[in-house]
Each structure stands twice: as structure tokens, then as C-alpha cells.
Amino acid sequence: MKQSALSIDDLREAVMRLPDDSLTATREAALASLDEQGFPSIRDEDWKYTDLSSAIDVSNRWLAQGAKTESTDALRKSIKAITASIDAHWLIVANGIVDLTCFGEPADIEVEKFSDSATPFVMDRPLADLNAALLHDGLRVQVHGATEKPLGVLLIDETSGGAGVTQANVDIEVAPGCDAEIIEYQVSSGSEDHYANSVIALQIDQAAHVSYVRIQNRRAGHIQTARLSVALSADARLNMASYDLGGGLVRNDVDIDINEAGADATFNGLFLAGDGQHIDNHTRVEHRVGPASSSQEYRGILNGRCRCVWNGKAIVHKGADGTDANQANHNLLLSDHAEIDAKPELEIYADDVKCSHGTTVGQLDETALFYLRSRGINKRQATQILTHAFAADLVARAPVATAKDAITALVEKRLGELIKEEDL
Amino acid sequence: MLEINNLKSRIGDTEILRGLSLSVNAGEVHAIMGPNGSGKSTLAQVIAGHDDYVVTGGEVTFMGKNLLDLEPEERAREGIFLGFQYPVEIPGVNNAYLLKAAVNAKRKHQGLGEVDAFEFLKVAREKMALLGMDPKFLNRGVNEGFSGGEKKRNEILQMAMLEPSLAILDETDSGLDIDALKAVAEGVNTLRAPDRAIVLVTHYQRLLDYIEPDFVHVLSEGQIIRSGDKSLALELEEKGYDWVREAANA
């Protein structure tokens, strides 16, 4: 099947309707680049499991409707509920519009809009081009010191009146020696058709430590493509955990660049998928120098008719001796119709390296299930207990304490939905 | 309490129980002995309801109910407890959580409300002290990283909390050193009661020095070939299983 094409003329019109400001030149350059490169297609190795046709269709419908984005009446209420549930300095991008009303006045975090900033931003991938072309505005954040509350980045979409397409772009730098906690929360409701495309860049300066949690809880059927690029300087540390709970078609790209020695990146992920969901986690770690270490563990729980992808790539460049890279992916398939494509990839060009990878795909342990049932616990509850235990380990690893209760509640709720009475 | 009549069962294509009959009354302690492969563990698993074992004939009733119609969890709630030969490790499931879920499942079945959390912990700690278990085991994953002896004590702890009418203890003595064996036996002895029956499945006579049975049965090739009192166990210890088999065939 041929992938539909983005209506580039309609897109050009939409770009021209955006405010004429300091971003105009970048938008136009991004548009030209997108026109040349097109959308990623399943013919590209990196996209062979994830077909973006539906994202293109939603975009074309949105463009045909005049690229209008109207907020639902409930948007403010949703924002309030989330920002109240997790105490943080919240930077918000609501339906593509930056919003600083829940940020407060932290002494050690500086924020400016892209449109007010002298620093240009450069994008070179098709989805980043789309992001730059249609970007209303972005946020540049600098964390200078320890803050009493985490930094929150809430990307919320709640549009009404037909298809919606939104872009978010946040650029964060954590200054040398700083400890920072960051929460990224992507959520949506509203119109049935929505495509959200985000780009977040995180620079962790020398000896700075970042604890990062990502929560994705979009409405069923909604499309998300999200790129998170993290660059680590000497002795910098990243401890991250991602939780993918909702959405229809979700593609997360996590790129980690280890640019200087002594850096350590630990990033884990949990994805829960049910009927109609497609969740694709692509991770890529570039070990450019050593010694340095990276470690990732992604776990998936799949039920019903769904498909998930985990593709973990580690590239150890020539001369990056003393690299220690580990990757693991474990999946629990609770239905015959669930599919996981798990692909660990190692490219090693250095001599003195330690790399490991492991992938498992399986069902619940029958012996454990019988053990619980023999204690009077019914099959449904036993299945739930064992599935929760599989997820609980990754919930326990959420590195931002403030967000843990919210994550626990969201994971429990989603698992409750996934394991239904009629399945058992 | 438990009536087994001409029970036949297979796993895969292998017939293991070949017409086994046994009657267990309240207050009694039965020991089922036999060589490896005689069907002892199969009997325990069939009574608990493991679906790998297919019942091909015979009847099993428990307190007048047809046991074979019930799911494993229903059997447990009716008052049957199986102490596993190899207790399963379940990382991520808290030991106290499992105990409480099990107790509450049974209480719900009996039409009672959920157990009071404070009272539950108090009782659990008392029973653990009796079994020589460190209370910190409550907060560990179920059997996760437990030694052989700790796992078996944990089984007896579950039994003590669930207060079953019929407890089947499958090779509870295997892999235990003498101190652990004594602690486990003591735990079982305190659970002997006029309204409770206990079936000990064991390969060796050793356990029976500490838990004195009322009846001893010898299982061979899926059938009980001889029954007697505790002296039968001693005789077995002395003369071996071949002796009973030869006597049965004669």
C-alpha cells in the first residue's frame, strides 16, 4: 500500500498563517526540508514497523479544515487536575501554545520563549522539520541550581471541532554540577483525531545529574511522535523512566549522546498496550567516548489486539574504550493477538567494551498462577497480581519521588482496564 | 471429610493414578508414603486441582461436595490447603499481601468481611514467632531468595493463617536440616485439631518421628497397596518398599 503524502501546499498556507516573528525563517527552511525529504515511510529501516499513514491523513484533514486548533471547554480543568496531582514547576504546551501560568517563580530555573530568544534552533529530521515548520513557539529552559520542586513539562492536547495537529518543542539545559528532577507528561483528550508531534532536547552539563520521568497517557486512537534527545557531558548522569499507557499510534524516539567520558545514562521504560494500540519505542545510544556506561530495560505488557515495538540500538564508536552498555527488553503477552517486535542492536567499533543485550517474550508463569489459585485467589485476581508484579518493578524505579504516586495510580488503572473479566 | 474412590489420573499420555481409594476423617493425620514415581505428588496436585493432571475416572468428595467440579481457588476456599514440595518464588508480590489476599478470599467465601489490617499483622507475627521466622519475611517477595527451609516454613505459615480443614503437605520434609524439620513439624503439630485433617506426603519415615500419624498408607504404581498404623512406617524404613510390593503381589 502506498503511503499517502502530506499536502505540502496546504501546509505552506498553514505555515504562512503563523505569526510573523523571529521563527519565520526557521519555519520556512523546515518546510523546504520537509518538502524535500517527505515523511518517514515504512521503507526506511527505522520505520519499518510503524506506518505513519494515519498521522499524514489526520494532518491533511486538519490542513483541509484550515489548520484551526480550538480548545475544548474542559482544557483548563484538565490542566488544573494534572498540575494539582503532581507538585512541580509546570511548563505547559496546551494545544501547541506555550503557557507559563503554572510555572511559579523558581529562583534557579530560567525560561524564555523561542520567539524571544536570540539562539536559533536547528532541525534535520523529517518529524523535527514538521515540528519546526508548524511550531507556534517553543521554550528554552536553563536549570542553574537545585530546585525544591521538580521541573514539569506538560504537553496537553484537547481540541474540539475535527482533526487536530499540535507541535511542542522544549529545550532544557542543566548547568554543570546541578541536580535536577524533570517530569514530562504527555496527555490528550477531546476530538477523536489528533496528532501530536514533540521534540524535547536535554543537555546535561558536566557532573550534572538528571532524574527524568516521562508519562504518556493520551486518548485512545490519538497519534504521538515524540523525540527526546539527551546529550551528556563529562561525568553527567541521567536516570530516566518512561511510562506509556495510552494513545493509539505512539512512536517514541530516545536518542542519547554520550559525548564525554565518565557519563552514565540509565533509562527504563514500561509500556502497556491493549486493543488497537501500537506503541513503538526506539532508543539509540551513541557512545562517542569512554569510559562511560549506559543501561536500559524496557518492559511491555500486551493484551488484546495490539502491536508494540522495542528497538534498542547502542553504537560504540571507535576509540570509545571502557564503554559498558546494557540493554534488556522483557515482554508479557497476555493474548494470542498481541505482537511484539523486539530488536536489540549493537554496533561496536572499539576494542575494550562490555556490552550485553537480552530479550524475552512470554506468558505468565503457569506455576505461579496455580500457586496463587491454590491459596484461594481467583484466576483473574491471580493474573492481575502477577501482571502488576511484572510492572511494579519498573514503577518502583521511577526516579522522581513526587511523581511516583501519580505513576502508580495510572499504571494500576491501566492494568485494570487491560485485564478484563472476559479475557479470563 | 475426604473420600477418594477408584481415582484414575494421567499427565500427558502417562497414567499415574490407577484406581486409588482413600478415606480421611476429621481429626486424623495420614501419611502417604511410597517410592519415587508412585504417584504421591500427583495425588496431592489432583486434590488441589492442578489442570495438568487429567482425571480419567473415579470420584473425590470433600465434605460431601464433588471436589472434581471445583476450580483450584474454590477448593482452597472450601478449606483445602496444599503445602507445595517446591514453593514458587514470585518476585514483586509481597508475602504479606499474598497472605492477606488469601485470607480475605476465604473470608469472602464464608460471607465475612475483610480482615482487619492491624489484627492480621498481629496474628501473622505470632505465627511466625512460633515457626521461628523473622518478621521481615512478611515484606519480602513471596519466597523470593528464601532458602529451602524458609520456603517450607512459609508454607506452614500460610497454612496457619488459612486454617484449612484439610492440609496436604507434599514432601514438606525434603531439603530440610534437622532444626528446620523440627520447627516445621512443631508448626504442623500445633495445627492438629479435632476438626482438621492432615495428609503428609513423604518419601522418608524421618518426618513421622516428629509428626505422629494415625494412619500410614503405601502408594505404589498409582494405588494404595497397604495401610496400617505408624508401625508400618517403621517397618518400611527397615525393610524397604520392595517388601510391601512383594507382599501385595503375593
**Nearest-by-CA chain B residue for A371:** B88
pLDDT digits (tens, 9 = 90+) for A27-57: 999 999 999 988 899 999 999 999 999 999 9
Q: Residues of B with CB below 8 A from A377's CB?
A: 73, 98, 101-102, 105
Grouping H, G, I as helix, E, B as strand and the rest as coil, residue A45 is helix
Q: Which of A180, A201, A79, A215 is nearest to A138 (CA)?
A: A201
- For residue A399, what is its C-alpha cell? 526516579
pLDDT digits (tens, 9 = 90+) for A271-293: 999 999 999 999 999 999 999 99
Out of A371, A373, A393, whose CB is closest to B84?
Answer: A371
The residue-averaged pLDDT of B48-67 equals 95
Quote the minimal CA–CA distance from A213 to chain B in Å: 21
Quote the minimal CA–CA distance from A411 to chain B in Å: 15
Quote the minimal CA–CA distance from A279 to chain B in Å: 25
CB A308 within 8 A of CB A340: yes
Question: Over pLDDT 70: what percentage of chain B?
Answer: 100
Out of B50, B97, B102, whose CB is closest to A376?
Answer: B102
- Provide residues of B within 8 Å CB-CB of chain A: 48-51, 71-73, 75-77, 81-82, 84, 87-88, 90-93, 97-98, 101-102, 105-106, 109, 141, 158, 162
The residue-averaged pLDDT of A71-78 equals 94
Out of A368, A385, A390, whose CB is closest to B88?
Answer: A368
The residue-averaged pLDDT of A95-119 equals 92
Quote the minimal CA–CA distance from A419 to chain B in Å: 17
Tell me whether residues B91 and A374 touch, CB distance under 8 A.
no
pLDDT at A419 over 90: no
pLDDT at B107 over 80: yes
Out of A376, A377, A390, whose CB is closest to B92?
Answer: A390
Instruction: Give the model's pLDDT for residue A29.
Output: 92
Cα–Cα distance for residue pair A282/A42, rounded to 1 Å: 14
Tell me whether residues B71 and A390 touch, CB distance under 8 A.
no
Tell me whether residues B93 and A371 touch, CB distance under 8 A.
no
Tell me whether residues B88 and A365 touch, CB distance under 8 A.
yes
Question: Over pLDDT 70: what percentage of chain A?
Answer: 97
CB B73 within 8 A of CB B51: no
List, in sequence order, every beta strand (DSSP E) within A32-136: 70-71, 89-94, 97-99, 109-113
CB A190 within 8 A of CB A157: yes
Q: Residues of A with CB below 8 A from B106's CB?
A: 376
Return the number of other C-beta atoms located less than 10 Å from residue B189's C-beta. Answer: 13
Q: Residues of B with CB below 8 A from A372's CB?
A: 90, 98
Place of cell 516521562: A214
pLDDT at A211 over 60: yes
pLDDT at B41 over 70: yes
pLDDT digits (tens, 9 = 90+) for A379-408: 988 988 999 899 998 999 999 999 999 999
pLDDT digits (tens, 9 = 90+) for A171-207: 999 999 999 999 999 999 999 999 999 999 999 999 9
Quote the minimal CA–CA distance from B187 to chain A in Å: 19
Task: List the single best residue of A374, A379, A384, A395 to mutate versus B (max B Cβ within 10 A).
Answer: A374
Tell me whether residues A376 and B90 touch, CB distance under 8 A.
no
Grouping H, G, I as helix, E, B as strand and the rest as coil, residue B176 is coil
Cα–Cα distance for residue pair A75/A410, rounded to 1 Å: 20
Quote the minimal CA–CA distance from B220 to chain A in Å: 26
Tell me whether residues B158 and A375 touch, CB distance under 8 A.
yes
pTM given for the model: 0.83
Dihedral over Cα of A58, A60, A61, A67: its sign: positive
Cα–Cα distance for residue pair A208/A178, rounded to 1 Å: 5
pLDDT digits (tens, 9 = 90+) for A352-370: 999 999 999 988 889 999 9
Tell me whether residues B48 and A374 touch, CB distance under 8 A.
yes
Quote the minimal CA–CA distance from B237 to chain A in Å: 32
**Hey, which residues does A307 pair with through a beta bridge?**
A278, A339
Instruction: Give the model's pLDDT for residue A384.
Output: 86
pLDDT at B36 over 90: no
pLDDT tier at B173 (50, 70, 90 boundaries)? Answer: confident
CB A251 within 8 A of CB A282: yes
pLDDT at A212 over 80: yes
**Hey, which residues does A72 pair with through a beta bridge?**
none
Q: How far is CA B8 from CA A93, A327, B5, B20, in A?
A: 68, 49, 9, 7
Q: Peptide bond before A291: cis, by omega within 30 degrees of 0?
A: yes
Residue A228 C-alpha from the chain's centroid: 7
Quote the minimal CA–CA distance from B250 to chain A in Å: 40
pLDDT digits (tens, 9 = 90+) for B133-163: 999 999 999 999 999 889 999 999 999 999 9
Phi and psi, residue A65, nearest 5° = -85, 5
Q: Residues of A with CB below 8 A from B50's CB?
A: 370
Tell me whether residues A376 and B73 touch, CB distance under 8 A.
yes
Lowest mean pLDDT among A122-131, B165-174, B221-230: A122-131
Q: Residues of B with CB below 8 A from A378's CB?
A: 71, 73, 105
Cα–Cα distance for residue pair A181/A90, rounded to 1 Å: 12
pLDDT at A2 over 80: no
Q: Residues of A with CB below 8 A from B70's CB?
A: none
Instruction: Give the model's pLDDT for residue A423.
Output: 53
Instruction: Give the model's pLDDT for residue A104.
Output: 94
**Nearest-by-CA chain B residue for A381:** B101
The residue-averaged pLDDT of B9-35 equals 94
Task: List the single best residue of B71, B90, B163 to mutate versus A (max A Cβ within 10 A).
Answer: B90
Q: Residues of B with CB below 8 A from A374's CB?
A: 48-49, 72-73, 75-76, 81-82, 84
Instruction: Give the model's pLDDT for residue A160.
Output: 92
Instruction: Give the model's pLDDT for residue A421.
Output: 53
Q: Residues of A with CB below 8 A from B75's CB?
A: 374
pLDDT at A1 over 50: no
Cα–Cα distance for residue pair A197/A226, rounded to 1 Å: 6
